[in-house]
Every structure is written in C-alpha cells, then in structure tokens.
C-alpha cells in the first residue's frame, strides 16, 4: 500500500491507538457510561489516508459515521511512563477522523472491522507542536459536514487528558516515535453519505478535508 501524504511533520504512524468514550457528552449520546479507565482499541495503519483523499463507504455497512478527534503524535519512546514523562514526550497534535461503521460496531464485540476499513483513518494536514506541555488543555476539535458544524469539543472536557492517556497506554503497549494516539470524540457523531465533504479542525493544526465516496470495484 503506498504511503499517503499526510502533511508537514507527519509520517505514516507505526501504530494507531484510540480511546473510546473519552468525552462525557459522547458517551451519553451513545447510551454508554464514561469508563473508569481509558477504553483502548486500535485502528490498522492500512486505514490511514491523507488530506483530500476519499473516505470510501464499504458495502458491508449502512451506517458509516464521522468522529472528529485530536490526534497525538508521540515524539519519544514511552514504556510504563508516568504522566510527567508522557507530557514531555508529545511531538505535537494533528486532526484525526475515527471513521466508524456504527452498525458493525453495535453488533460485533471487537471493533477491528467497524473501525478498520481501508480509508477509515484520515490524518493531517500537518503536525502542530504544542507551545508548552500543558497547552493541550486549550485545544478544541470540530467537525463540519458540507460546511455545517456537527461536532465541537474541548480537550479540557476529556474524561482522561493527554498525559493520562499516554501514560495509561504505555503501561500496556510501548509507544514509539511517530505512533498516533486518537483521544476520543465529542458528541455529535453522525452519518457520512456519498458526495459529502467532511472537515475535522483542531486548533493550531488547521483543517483536514476529505470527500466521501461509494466504494467502487469488485466486492465493494
Ligand atoms: Mg473515536
């Protein structure tokens, strides 16, 4: 699979770790409690696409949704790190769209397929280095579909903040430079349809834009 162009400062990540239900309002809209510990899952790197590349809707799902997220790019190796170490290891942040086949997520206890279809992980358009290790608290994330705002959230409202998430992940999985951690989505997730234009914006980063297409080709 060719390496997509993600934008300045961004290389294809070695792995992608995601946090589910990290904003109270999104957990509530899904009728789920906020977990007592970060709820982790992974997206395959084969799902990564760059700015401008199409999100392709697979025939296996009738309910593909956007999830605008703040993506953290790891700058140095983290293994069983405390929050202080984790805070200092952030290379920067970017925009991530944790595209999800909601119908498959509901019916399959493992989310590998629902979260892992090719093109289900738009990333970019650049890496934004934080001004200081606590600046993540001021970040905001938004999603627009066809110019209409669907999601808006503040990192300060996360159940588990960036250092806590990175520290927690590193207690199970060693994080390497370039790895990407998607930190969860605020409320307002909703459907993507062919012809839509979806935008994820993270303050300081810019806007990640992707068109949405029906998947074409054999076995679509
Ligand atoms: Mg998500």
Ligand 1 mean position, distance from CA 41 (Å): 9
Return the pLDDT at 34.
83
Task: Give the tens place of pLDDT for each residue, 170-193.
Answer: 999 999 999 999 999 999 999 999
Ligand 1 mean position, distance from CA 67 (Å): 6
The residues, any chain, with a CB within 8 Å of residue 123's CB and separated by 6 or more, are 6, 10, 13, 48, 49, 50, 71, 94, 95, 96, 180, 208
Ligand 1 mean position, distance from CA 201 (Å): 15
- pLDDT surpassing 70 at residue 3: no
Q: Evaluate whether residue 176 is within a structural domain.
A: yes
Phi, psi of 170 (to 5 degrees): -65, -15
CA–CA distance, 195 with 146 (Å, rounded to integer): 9
Q: Evaluate whether residue 6 is within a structural domain.
A: no
Q: Evaluate whether residue 218 is within a structural domain.
A: no
CA–CA distance, 210 with 137 (Å, rounded to integer): 26
3-state secondary structure of 88: helix
The CATH number that applies at residue 31 is: 3.90.850.10
Q: Evaluate whether residue 163 is within a structural domain.
A: yes
Ligand 1 mean position, distance from CA 77 (Å): 24
Q: Evaluate whether residue 146 is within a structural domain.
A: yes
CA atoms within 13 A of residue 65's CA, in its CB half-sphere: 20
Q: Evaluate whether residue 1 is within a structural domain.
A: no
Q: Evaluate whether residue 9 is within a structural domain.
A: no
Number of domains in the chain: 1
Ligand 1 mean position, distance from CA 20 (Å): 5
Return the pLDDT at 2.
58
In the chain, what is the straight-line distance between the N-terminal and C-terminal CA atoms, in Å?
Answer: 18
3-state secondary structure of 41: strand
Q: Evaluate whether residue 138 is within a structural domain.
A: yes
What tokens does 11 get? 């290389």
Ligand 1 mean position, distance from CA 70 (Å): 10
The strand pair at 197-202 and 140-145 is best described as antiparallel
Task: Give the tens place of pLDDT for each residue, 98-129.
Answer: 999 999 999 999 999 999 999 999 999 999 99
Ligand 1 mean position, distance from CA 23 (Å): 10
- What is the pTM (predicted TM-score) of this model? 0.95
């Amino acid at each position: 699979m060719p390496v997509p162009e993600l934008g300045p400062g961004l290389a294809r990540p070695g792995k992608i770790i995601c946090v589910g239900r990290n904003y109270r309002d999104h957990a509530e809209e899904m009728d789920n409690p906020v977990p007592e510990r970060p709820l982790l899952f992974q997206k395959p790197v084969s799902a990564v696409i760059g700015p401008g590349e199409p999100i392709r809707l697979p025939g296996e799902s009738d309910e593909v949704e956007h999830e605008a997220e703040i993506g953290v790019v790891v700058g140095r190796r983290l293994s069983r790190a405390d929050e202080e170490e984790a805070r200092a290891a952030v290379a920067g942040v970017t925009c991530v769209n944790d595209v999800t086949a909601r119908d498959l997520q509901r019916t399959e206890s493992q989310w590998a397929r629902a979260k892992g279809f090719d093109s289900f992980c738009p990333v970019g358009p650049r890496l934004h280095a934080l001004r200081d290790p606590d600046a993540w608290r001021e970040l905001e994330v938004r999603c627009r579909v066809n110019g209409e705002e669907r999601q808006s959230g503040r990192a300060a409202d996360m159940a588990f903040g960036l250092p806590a998430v990175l520290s927690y992940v590193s207690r199970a999985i060693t994080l390497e430079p370039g790895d990407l951690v998607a930190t969860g989505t605020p409320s307002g997730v909703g459907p993507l349809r062919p012809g839509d234009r979806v935008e994820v914006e993270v303050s300081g980063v810019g806007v990640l834009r992707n068109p949405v297409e029906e998947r074409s080709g054999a076995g679509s």
